[in-house]
Structures are given as structure tokens and as C-alpha cells.
Structure 1
Amino acid sequence: MARTAEGTPGAPHILIVGGGYVGMYTALRLQKKLKRELKRGEVKVTIVDPNSYMTYQPFLPEAAAGNISPRHVVVPLRRVLPKCTVRKARVTELNHDEGWAIVQPLAGPPERINYDYLVMAAGAVPRILPIPGLAEEGFSLKTVGEAIHLRNHVLEQLEVAESTDEVEIRRKALTFVFVGGGFAGVEAIAEVEDMVRDATKYMRKITPQDLRFVLVEASDRILPEVGPDMGKWTAEQLRGRGIDVKLKTFLQSAVGGEIELSDGSRFPSGTLVWNAGVKPSPVVRHTDLPLDERGRIKGTEYLTIEGMVRAFTAGDNAAIPDLTQEGMFCPPNAQHALRQSKVLAANIVRSLRGKSLKPYVHGNLGAVAGLGLHKGVANPLGFKLKGWPAWFFHRTYHGLMVPTVNRKIRVLADWTLALFLKRETVSLATVEQPRADFELAALDDAKPKQKAS
């Protein structure tokens, strides 16, 4: 059966492409359900991802705002998957008909991995539109690196404004534009605005009135996941905090930091955060797997890949039918990814043992969003929560859902310390260019020295 010579001869090899929600949780459950088989070498599981950790993305806005340490929102794959092989590499090509994938490791030539079972869980990347200046001026909030960069960048903009009296420089530095009114965009602008408002308490030249935050959304409402009434309430709350919420508005240009919107407004901004949708990881285009018109892998209700044998998929890179809503697909969110991985792992085990597969059926449990310290909005199981109760529910839910006891304790410790200690608002922008001072010193030493007279 096996097409690989790795491990025990004839032992099936399961390849998981992607170490995010679906990839890590699927591997965790396989590690538990196939404990004896993995120990005896009767099954082999390999997980391939460009990172050696899984990112708990709901915590990225809080990491960007300094409420949680960035290291506490990631889970080391090798630590939680000791029975699996973790490869920090990129899949550059995959042929499921022949059962092989080409991976590019950090160093050295590409390698070929043969496998028997495939789990395609490569996730998604930001959907970048061809808007002039967007690629050069904008950045997203999909990774822990981007969360760290956003925090340092925003605080550095405050330092720029604090260091000069030039009106135009100050106006640009203190204008922050966020595009996208979904969960990522709304939570990001709310958390960052909360942090910046705190930071101005220690500035001499900057007051909260000097700040300009703009949220740009193409549709007629924000946070569609929590319903129209709660979305409208959230927009009113953000406007009450001085955030300019622009609905039915598009970003038209960002060349040189000059923002142009479809409503005719034009202004400079030193910060442009793009959270206007995602698309499947580019790796899916370099495979022989079937894709739909949006570039997603065609999945079935059994989380198998349409027309393929021993091939499974779930998460953001897949179009999985939503059996609770005829003609609809499961939305690309953590709630579905987490629950899909449970069914996916069970179906792989059932396939290995010659049993019939079970379909994935999951009703919507509601949604929850944090809007800064002590502020939030939620509709769990149809109940509408606002303000402090929603914020408390948000923290309770995600505190329970973040993987591993280790991370739960660390996140809880961050939150507990924040109750007694003031928020840190120091920019560490120099960490993004750690050799700058070293190179400057080297250049200085290389200059010819003047003789003392």
C-alpha cells in the first residue's frame, strides 16, 4: 500500500500540509488515536509548514496591542507533536495521483516526500487587490510577525510626531487607516486605538484629539458575523471613541502614503493595515487537486477532496459544504477549522481501518469580538452581549480554546498582570534592523581617522 520507503515497510504515511488550526489539531488527534501504531512504526505522520509553530490568530490583535506576549500566541509544533515528524519547509509542488510532494527546506536542495494519505490544510493568505501603493505601503495582521511589526510601527509613529513640530509630518504620523470591517479589521483597529490612547498619556506634544483612526469597509455594515443589530451597535461604539467608520467605501490609492478613498476624501497616513479578505494559500495552485472558481480545494461533506482517494482537506484553503445551510459553504473561521479537524482525523482513522466515513455537520455557535480593554461584542447561541460582559466572555472563551495548558497559563498570567501593572507602550522598532548600529559602527571605524593636533 505504502509508496514510501520511510519507516516500517508497508506502513502508511500521512502527509499534512500546513501547521495551522486544521494541521496541528488533526495531527494531535491522530497522535492520540493512533498512539500504539505510531509507537510501533506502523503509521507515520509528517507535518510540513514554513513555520515550526501554530499561531492562535484570535489573539493577534491583543498581541499587537501589548495585552499578550507574542510568544504566548504561538504553539511549538515539535513540543506538542512528539510522535510526528515536523518539517519546517515549503511545499512547492504536489502530485496526489502519484503520491509525492516536493518540499523546499530552509537550506539545501528541494526534497521529495512520498506519502499515502494527504491532508491539505495550507490555510490562507491576505487577498491583495491591485490598488496603487497598497503592496508598498500596507501590511496585514495574519501572523505573529505582523502583530509585532504593527505594534512597533504604530508606537514609532507616535515617536515621530512627538519629535517634530512640522504639521504635515505630525498629521501623517498620527493618521492610522485600517481597511476591512470583518473580525480581523475591527478587532485590530479597536485594540490598537486603545493602546495608542494609553500611550499618549506619556507624551508631551500628543493628545488623544490629535489622533485620527479610519476604518474603511466596502459593504454597508461591519462585523456581519454578529448580526446587523450588533454590527450597527459596534460601529456606533467605535465612532463614539473618535474612530471614523466609513461604510460603502473603497480604498482607491495609497501611493506614497497618500490615501484616496472612493468617497472623495484624500489625506496622508503613515499606517495602512489591510484586512479585506483572504484567499487560499498559493501552494494549492501547484498541485493536481481540483479547485473551484475562487481557487479553493473542492471538498466534500466528509472532508475528503472531490474525486480523490485518501485525500482530505479542511480550513481556509477548502470549500466544504455547510450541511446546515443548503448551497452554502463553511466560512473560513477558527470555529469551523477546529471542529473540522476533529472529524477529519476521525475519518482518516476510519479509512485506515476500513470503516465508512462520517460527514461534518456543525451549526453556528455565534461569534465574539474584543474591542479593546473591557470592551467587546458577542452573540453566543443567539444571546446578545455588549461591553464588559462581551469582553469577559471573549477572554473566557479564547482562554479556554487556546491550545495546550502551557499557553493557557501564560495567557492567563499576562491578563492577570495587566490588572495590576500599566500597559507597556515602548517601541522596539530597532529589533527589525538589529545590525543597523553594528554596521554604523563598522563604517565609522573604517573611516580614516584625523590626527590630533
Structure 2
Amino acid sequence: MGRGKTKRIVILGGGYVGLYTALGLQRKLRGAEASVTVIDPQPHMTYQPFLPEAAGGAIEPRHVVVPLRKTLKRCHVVTARVTNIEHAARRVTIEAPDGHHEQVEYDVLVVALGSVARLMPIPGLADQGIAFKTVGEAIFLRNHVMSRLDAANSTNDPDLRRKYLTFTFVGGGFAGIEALAELEDMARFATRYYDNIAPSDLRWVLVEAAGRILPEVRERLGVYTVLQLERRGIEVYLSTLARSFEGGHVVLSDGTEFDSDTIVWTAGVKANPVLATSDLPLDERGRLKAEPTLRVTGVEDVWTAGDNAAVPDLSRTGEDPNALCAPNAQHAVRQANLLAKNVIAVLRGHEPTPYFHKNVGSVASLGLHKGVADVYNIKAKGFVAWAMHRGYHVARVPTFNRKFRVVADWLLSGLLRREVISLGQINNPRAEFDRVSGS
């Protein structure tokens, strides 16, 4: 395909960076100035900070995802997986859902492939672990936890009952802490509907390799969070490694051993491995080397941001010349908004603007009416922090449609209380066919 006057902008990834960059380009590009194509394996963007509440039943799972085609009406959305990037030839290779491969050419490339779960070589992890990055995993985990209550309520085997009612989370960042807190809140509420299960029968365990949790907030708030979790009966193991999960038998580095039928792995992420096969420059952690303007270092017409990018943090380079932006949603959204402006500026012959952002702080939910916050040097706990968490994230979730639906979910769950229903059938919809055909 020959190159015409209309520039072809291809965005790899439809997450925070991909969606917000496409929205910015969609709003600001002139008619025939450029075409925009967004490529992602999923037809939606997931607002991950709401996944814990979706898993806990406070938000309808459909409302934490933003449909790309409905939102990006002036962009071409392709549902496919990127398998290779060849910038020397200005093309990417994609794999469609039916398995066939295509090549997509571009003039300007935006790499927003994000991150994937970082699995460690721990025996049993691949077989027993559950990740927590997608809405599908959040739904599965919710149904799994509720189904364990059902199974424990029915069994006469005390050892099996203990295993069913033991829930293990590995990773003390925002994802792990919020998921643990929301699900513990939900399960404790649900026990009132079970004759044979009391809240004290539930065992919740948090394992963190570092000496503290929530590194994004001040250490005092991290300590406060641990105390609040322990007050709820949650066991917290700091400076502790997981050694094995084989057969659901958890072995920790301090010698602790127990059986658990639920193992949630949120211990870190790594840049999308597709980057390793590209001809673009990477740092030692497999992320794209980026300039403060969000251009890929030393490469023409390639831009990047978010989890797969090593972007200099200009707000901290005075104290640390090698400081990089943390891989979090706050940076991803702000970088994406600037990235769209910079791409348009360069298309029109202007200079791009460096990314500079002072961290405003962090907020975390610890279940219904509980949270911690460290925003603009203001520390908050309990209900106030929980309200700040909800307010901040409903302001950040894209599109008015999603904001309205999320607020409506909160109002309904506040008036009618949370739903504690297990929809286990969705995990195996052909179970009845298999049962009948096998009889």
C-alpha cells in the first residue's frame, strides 16, 4: 500500500494509554489529517482500579469495561493480538481470533501494550494461581470464593472444609490489598446466609516478599493498613516468600505450611513480552526506552507510555537522575493525554512537550466504608479515605456512560445491600452436556 497524504497512526493496545491516546487524537485531528487504528485482543478497555469492587459485588462487572468501538467512533478498532513489530519496515504483524496472521503498515506507531502478570518459577503456581488483571479474572474469582463457601457448607470432611475456607493472596500492592479486602468483606457478609459457616471459620492470608505493603503510600499508612487487616483476622506475612503451591498446599519461606483452595497471584508485572522480539530499544527490564517527550529513544515516529515504557520522571530527576515513572494508572492516563497532543504537534511541524507530573498521592479501598489515602500530603483513613477513593476513580473512569452506571451501582448496593450469589455455571457452561453425554 503506497503512502498518501493521510498519515496512518497505529496504536498497539487498548488499555489506559491506548484508549486515552485514541480519544485525544479522535477529538483533535482534522478530517483527512490522519487515520487512527487501535489493535487489542479485547474489544474493551478495563478500568482496573474498579476490579476489586466488581469482584466484591459493589459494581456490575460490565460497568468496569469501556467498549472500544462504541467509544472510538472515528477510529478503526481491530480485535487481534500483536505478535511482532518491525519498525525498519514500518509494519506490525497481528493474529486474528480465527488464528490467521495479517500485517498492518503504519506511518506513526504508538506502543501501548502494557504489562502482563510476572509469574515466578514456584512449583504449583501455574496450576493453582489466579491472576487479577482482567474483568474475566475478577468474575471468576468472585464466583470461586462464593462456590468455596457452598462447598464448605456441604462437606463433612474437616480438613477439606479448612482448605475450602482458606484464601491466600500473594502480593501487597494496590491490586492484592484491595482485592483481598473487598472479597473478605463480601465473604464475611455472606456467612450470615450459611448455617454451618461463621466469619471466624474463614482464613485469609496475605504474603508479601517486601517488608511493607502499599509502597505507593507513606510507610505509616502501610503500617496502619496492616493493623486494620489484622484486626479483621487477616494473617499478614511480610518479608516472606512463597516456596510452593503444589496441590493447593502452601509452603512459605518462614516454614509456615497450610492448605488453600484459593491462591491469588498479584505479585508484580512485567512489560509485554512481544517487545522482546521487536527491533525497538529496550531497557534491562524489557521496557521501551523513552524520552521525556514520550518518543521512543533514537527512533523516528514511534511513541510509547504506560507500563511498557521506561519514561524519565522529571519531577524526581533532581534527587535521582535515573528516576523513572512508576507503572501505575495515574501516570498512564496523564502520559496518554500528553502523547496525543505531542503526536499531533509533530504531525503539524511543532516540537513535542516533555512529560512532567508531580505525584498527587494515592488512595486505596479496604472494603466497604474502609480505606487509606495519601493525597497532596493529606493523610486520611477509614470512611473519609474510602469516599476519596470512590470520588477519585469515578472522576477518572472514561466516558460519562460509565461514570453514571458505576454511581448507580453504588447507590443500589447501598440501598439494597450487596449481592452474594455464586454464578459458578459460567465457568463451565457445558457441564450439563458433559454429564448427560457421559451417562
Q: State the TM-score, normalizing by the size of structure 2.
A: 0.98
Name whichever of 409-418 and 284-293 sits farther off.
284-293
CA shift at 1:108, angstroms? 5.2
The 5 A counterparts of 1:255-294 are: 255-294=246-285
Whether 2:44 is the aligned partner of 1:53: answer: yes
Q: Which portions of structure 1, spanning 4 or more consecutive aligned residues, are displaced by more than 4 angstroms?
A: none
CA shift at 1:384, angstroms? 0.4
For 1:376, the equivalent position in structure 2 comes to 371
Counterpart Cα distance in 1 of 2:16 and 2:55: 20
The 5 A counterparts of 1:328-367 are: 328-367=323-362
- Matched AA of 2:389: H
Name whichever of 395-404 and 50-59 sits farther off.
395-404
The 5 A counterparts of 1:36-51 are: 36-37=30-31, 41-51=32-42
Whether 2:153 is the aligned partner of 1:162: answer: yes
CA shift at 1:442, angstroms? 3.7
The 5 A counterparts of 1:100-111 are: 100-107=91-98, 109-111=100-102
Report which of the two structures shows the higher radius of gyration computed on alpha carbons: 1
* Aligned CA-pair RMSD: 1.0
Aligned-partner SS, 1:295: coil
Aligned-partner SS, 1:224: coil
Counterpart Cα distance in 2 of 1:277 and 1:114: 33
Could you tell me which runs of 5 or more consecutive residues in structure 2 were left unpaired when the two chains were aligned. Answer: none
Counterpart Cα distance in 1 of 2:346 and 2:249: 56
- Matched AA of 1:253: S
Whether 2:423 is the aligned partner of 1:428: answer: yes
CA shift at 1:386, angstroms? 0.1
Whether 2:204 is the aligned partner of 1:213: answer: yes
- Matched AA of 1:344: L
Aligned-partner SS, 1:372: coil
Counterpart Cα distance in 2 of 1:376 and 1:109: 47
Aligned counterpart for 1:415 among listed residues 393, 410, 414? 410
For 1:451, the equivalent position in structure 2 comes to none
Counterpart Cα distance in 1 of 2:341 and 2:256: 53
CA shift at 1:226, angstroms? 1.1
For 2:302, the equivalent position in structure 1 comes to 311
The 5 A counterparts of 1:122-133 are: 122-133=113-124
Whether 2:134 is the aligned partner of 1:143: answer: yes
- Matched AA of 2:404: I
For 1:449, the equivalent position in structure 2 comes to none
For 1:400, the equivalent position in structure 2 comes to 395
**1:181–1:161 distance in 2 versus 1, CA, 3 Å:** same
CA shift at 1:438, angstroms? 2.4
The number of residue pairs the alignment matches comes to 435
For 1:74, the equivalent position in structure 2 comes to 65
CA shift at 1:254, angstroms? 0.3
Per-residue CA distance 1:159-196 (angstroms, 9 max, x = gap): 11001121110010000000001101110110010000
CA shift at 1:440, angstroms? 2.3
For 1:240, the equivalent position in structure 2 comes to 231
Counterpart Cα distance in 2 of 1:140 and 1:382: 32
Percent identity over paired residues = 54
Per-residue CA distance 1:320-364 (angstroms, 9 max, x = gap): 000011221000000000000011111100110011111000000
CA shift at 1:443, angstroms? 4.0
CA shift at 1:430, angstroms? 1.0
Per-residue CA distance 1:357-402 (angstroms, 9 max, x = gap): 1100000000000000000000111100000000011111111111
Counterpart Cα distance in 2 of 1:109 and 1:150: 32
- Matched AA of 1:290: P
Q: State the TM-score, normalizing by the size of structure 1.
A: 0.95
Aligned-partner SS, 1:379: strand
Counterpart Cα distance in 2 of 1:443 and 1:178: 36
For 2:83, the equivalent position in structure 1 comes to 92
